[in-house]
Structure 1
């Protein structure tokens, strides 16, 4: 049903008074390559080493009901790792304190229970005032798409910006995740 002229004019007028905001491009010039995570062995996993390649960064917890997603993350890593994707597990106790382990015990639990071979970094805050700088940056890039529970997935594109986010309930092997990853791995035109 077409809009009445009066309704169309009211809609147009309301658009004129809305504040202008940028809708193209990233919110900041920073990229994921600006950040890194501490590893359980005390070394650093610098994301700059993955510049130009996609990353799937997932806040995890070994005692969470979503912990079986570790197996799906491993499937994604096995399928796409040789093509350039890196999966990074970021253990966190921010949601329900469902990461009771520390250090190497987290890595060993993920490996023993779910066959994880992708990088698992040290336990890290992902929300609140003590959130890791990567998570503060990601929240600024995608304000309405922050982690609200364990196993929130950020897909960082080859350009270093957040290409997609997937909430906890979306399995890593969900077609939406697979399609988004595959899109980031496609050869660039140019």
Structure 2
């Protein structure tokens, strides 16, 4: 996918292994998060869900969160795709889409995450995802508008998301 120029060029897999054309989200603001069920940051699911509901209430389908479970950081997402889905729904009432398990770094990294990291490198130009619950904000134009570390609480992203929705 070296020719990808926007978020909408990718087709990651959902929890059933089916491709999801991100072109379906054209014109929307999307928060992409690599997630894990057994991480110190796992309670962020609660904040993400609250943020999702509050913004969707005012902006409807113009905003989307996509969770990408990843087992590359300390083996903190060991379950199957079905187990991950159940965990998110039972423990945090997650209603936003949780995709299929995804590698975000290394030789098997998802082309989407390779592109996200290239478009918005981390601290000191780092081109890798550092840990679970790193967040990327994609604007309505399909460009990466922001990137936040795992330590950034979802609630603190309301303003940048609302700014993108207003753009």
Question: Are 2:46 and 1:71 equivalent residues in the alignment?
Answer: yes
Find the structure with the greater CA-based Rg: 1
Compute the displacement of 1:159 (Å).
1.1
Cα shift readout 1:36-69 (whole Å, capped 9, x = no counterpart): 2211223222210001111000000000110000
Partner of residue 145 from structure 2, selected from 163, 166, 186: 163
Compute the displacement of 1:29 (Å).
6.4
Question: Are 2:106 and 1:124 equivalent residues in the alignment?
Answer: no
Question: Are 2:133 and 1:151 equivalent residues in the alignment?
Answer: yes
Question: Are 2:68 and 1:90 equivalent residues in the alignment?
Answer: yes
Partner of residue 80 from structure 1, selected from 40, 43, 55: 55
Q: Distance in 2 between matches of 1:92 and 1:48?
A: 23
Question: Are 2:28 and 1:39 equivalent residues in the alignment?
Answer: no
Higher relative contact order at CA 8 Å, sep ≥6: structure 1 or structure 2? 2
Secondary structure at the residue paired with 1:48? helix
Q: Distance in 2 between matches of 1:144 and 1:66?
A: 18
Secondary structure at the residue paired with 1:45? coil
Structure 2 residue runs without a partner (length 5+): none
Matched with 2:36 is 61
Secondary structure at the residue paired with 2:154? coil
Question: Are 2:115 and 1:133 equivalent residues in the alignment?
Answer: no
Q: Distance in 2 between matches of 1:138 and 1:103?
A: 23
Question: Are 2:112 and 1:112 equivalent residues in the alignment?
Answer: no
Secondary structure at the residue paired with 1:73? helix
- Conserved 8 A contact 2:122-2:147: no
Structure 1 residue runs without a partner (length 5+): 1-27
Compute the displacement of 1:91 (Å).
0.1
Deviating beyond 4 angstroms after TM superposition, the runs of 4 or more aligned structure 1 residues are none
TM-score, with normalisation over the residues of structure 2? 0.90
Compute the displacement of 1:130 (Å).
1.2
Matched with 1:20 is none
